[in-house]
Structure 1
C-alpha cells in the first residue's frame, strides 16, 4: 500500500482547482517556483503549460513579460556570502532579460540586490539593495529585538537604485538618509539585522516611487526630486504588507499579509485598494473564512482588465482570481515542489515548498510570439 504523502500542500491537490470561464479574465499566467533551478512557467486558464523558460540562475524572486516580449527575470547571484541568517532566502543579485526561447540578452549584477527588481519598459531597472550601518548609525535604528544585529553589530539598511540599460546609475535613495527612525521603527519582534526591509519598489505615473516597508508596516511614496516621503499609509492600515501597485486614478492595490495585525486575534491576509487622498481602504478581499487565507510572508496582487484581481498566495503556491464582489472564479496550485538549495535556508524552511513570489496574467494579444510558436 502506498505511503501517505507528508507534504500537506501537495496532498491537497495541485494544478487547476477551480475555473468559471465566464467570470475569469482571459489570458495566461506566469510564475517562477522559488525552489526551482531557473524555470519559469506560463499556463492557460485550464492549467496547461503553454510555454517555459529555463534560465541559468535560480529565482531571486520573480519574472514578468515586458511589452516587447522579452522576459524580465530576477535571479540569484551564485556563491555570495550570507550577510545574516535570512539573506539567502530573499537575496537576488542578477537582473536579466531573456528572449522567448530563453536566450539571455543582457544582465545587470548587484550582489546587494534583494526582493524586488522592477524592469521598466524603456530598459531601466528600479531595485532594492542594501548598505551597512555601523556604530551610532546602527544604534539610531529603533525597535527590533535587542542584540539581534548582523555580525559586527551591523544593521543592513535599504537603498533603492535605478540604472539604465547599460547599468549606469541614474538615481538612488537611502533609507538611512530619508526615514525618521521613530516613525519607521522595526516591529519589536523583528531582528535588527535588516531595516526597514523594502520588499517592493515601483515607479508611479508621476515619476515618483512607491515602496513597501515590511518590517515597519508602511507603504510610502518617495519624491524622485528630493527623496522625501510624500505620503504613507496611516498606522494600522497594513501589517507586514507586499506589492503596492498603482491603479488608474492613483489608488494603490496592496497585498496586506496581516502578520501582527493590531486588534486581530486571528491572523488573516487580505488584498486592499487604498485611496491615497484620504488613506481609506475603498475595496477589500479576504476569504469568507478569514483564517483560510493567511500568507505570513510574500504575496502579490494584480488588477486585471475586466476588474478582477489576480492574487498570489505565495507560501502556499496558490494563485487565484476574484471578481470585484469577491467571487473566486479561478484557482491554481503550483505543482512544482522542492527543497531550498541553500542549507541555511533549508534549516529555516525544512519542507519542500511550492512557493512563488508573484504571478502575472497576460492577455493573448500581449503575447503575439506565443501564437508564432516561439
Structure 2
C-alpha cells in the first residue's frame, strides 16, 4: 500500500477523546505512546520483535510478547516470550512458551492468561469438520488452549478447544484445516469468566472457568473472521467484523455492536465508501470514555476515532515501517491493536509530567 501522508491526517479537537494512544507496530521492535497530535511522548525498546499484543497495566508497565524461533509450525501472530517491562523498559517479569500466540492478559490476582497452540490427538483431529480438505499442517491439526500461569511461571489452570463437542463447531468455509480454531482473543471478564473469539469458526463465546463450558456463544459466518470482542458496561458486545469472506462485494470491514441476549444489532460503523475500510486479518476496537470508538484497521496501520454518529474525528497512519508483514516482501506498518489512555488514568498518571 502507498500513502500520501503519515501520522495524524485529521483531528477535530472538540470531539476527540483526550489522552494518549499506544501504538505497537506488529512485528516491530518499538512500542510508541503518542499524543493526539501524533507526537511521540514515550517509547519502549523491546527485547525482540513484537508478537502481536502490547498494552499498559494499571501500574504503568507494558505487557507484551516477542517472537521466538521455536514452537509449532503455525506462525500467525505468534509470540513465545512473554514480558512485563517497566516504564524504562527494564524486565520485571518474563515467561517462555514457544506456542503462545495472539493474546495475553494480566489477571487481578497477578496471574497471566494467554493463548497457545498444540497438536491435537489423531482421535480429536478426526472429529474436526469443515475447512479446506487436505490443508492440515504436515498432517496435523493444531488446537488452541488457554493457559493461566502464576508469577512464578507455574500453570494453575488450562483449557483446550478439544474439550468442546468438536462436531458442533465445523470450520468456516474457505479456511485451512491446520488450526482448530484460530483463537485471537482471551479477555478476562469482571466475574472471572473469559470472553473468547475464534476466527476460523466465526464464533465468540464466554467460557466459565469452573465448569469449563461455554455459558454463552454466538456464531455468524457473515462476520468474516472477526476479532477483538468486548463486553460493554450495558451488556452489549462490540467487535471488529473483518468481512474477509463476505459474499457481498466489495470486501469491507465493519464495527458491530449487538445485544448479547437478543442478538439485535444496536450500533454499526461502516465507511461511507465501503472499500476504504478493510482489514482482511487482525483488527481492533475500543469504546472510549466519551462514547467515541477507537478503531484499528490493522493491515494498513491505520488507527481512527469516530463518534456515536460515525463522524470521523481523528485519523492516524502509523509511520513506523519497522517489520516485514507476513505474505509481504516490503516493510509494513501493521498494528494488531491499539489503546487510548486518559491523562489521569492509573497507567499514565504522573508519568508524563
Question: TM-score, with normalisation over the residues of structure 1?
Answer: 0.90
Look up the match of 1:4. Answer: none
Match of 2:38 in 1: 47
2:75 matches 1:88: yes
Q: Deviations over 1:326-372 (max 9, x none)?
A: 001001100011442xxxx75x2223211010000001112124334
Question: Which of the numbers 59, 64, 71 marks the counterpart of 1:68?
Answer: 59
The 1:52/1:339 distance shift into structure 2, 3 A limit, reads closer
Per the normalisation by structure 2, the TM-score is 0.95
Residue 181 of structure 1, aligned match among 128, 142, 166: 166
Please say which of residues 186-195 and 308-317 is displaced more in the overlay.
186-195
Task: Return the alpha-carbon distance in structure 2 between the equivalents of residues 328 and 194 of structure 1.
Answer: 37
Q: Distance in 2 between matches of 1:181 and 1:291?
A: 35
Task: Give the match for residue 320 of structure 1.
Answer: 304
Do structure 1's residue 303 and structure 2's residue 293 form an aligned pair?
no
Structure 2 CA distance, aligned partners of 1:290 and 1:122?
Answer: 43
1:146 and 2:125 aligned: no
8 A contact 1:66–1:121 mirrored in 2: no
Aligned partner of residue 145 in structure 1, secondary structure: coil
Distance 1:64 1:238, change over 3 A: same
Aligned residue runs from structure 1 range 1-374, under 5 A: 8-9=1-2, 11-36=3-28, 38-77=29-68, 79-81=69-71, 83-84=72-73, 87-151=74-138, 153-178=139-164, 180-236=165-221, 238-261=223-246, 263-340=247-324, 348-366=327-345, 367-372=348-353
Note if contact 1:67-1:121 (Cα within 8 Å) is conserved in structure 2: no
Q: Does the aligned pair in 2 maintain the 1:218–1:238 contact within 8 Å?
A: no
Contact 2:27 2:52 in 1 (8 A): no
Gaps of 5+ in 2: none
Q: Aligned pair count? A: 351
Richer in strand (by share):
2
Does the 8 Å contact 1:198/1:211 carry over to 2?
yes
Query: Within 2, Cα distance between the matches of 1:23 and 1:236?
Result: 35
Listed as ranges, the gaps of 5+ residues in structure 1 are 1-7
Please state how far the C-alpha of 1:295 moved relative to its aligned partner: 0.6
2:222–2:243 Cα contact (<8 Å) kept: no
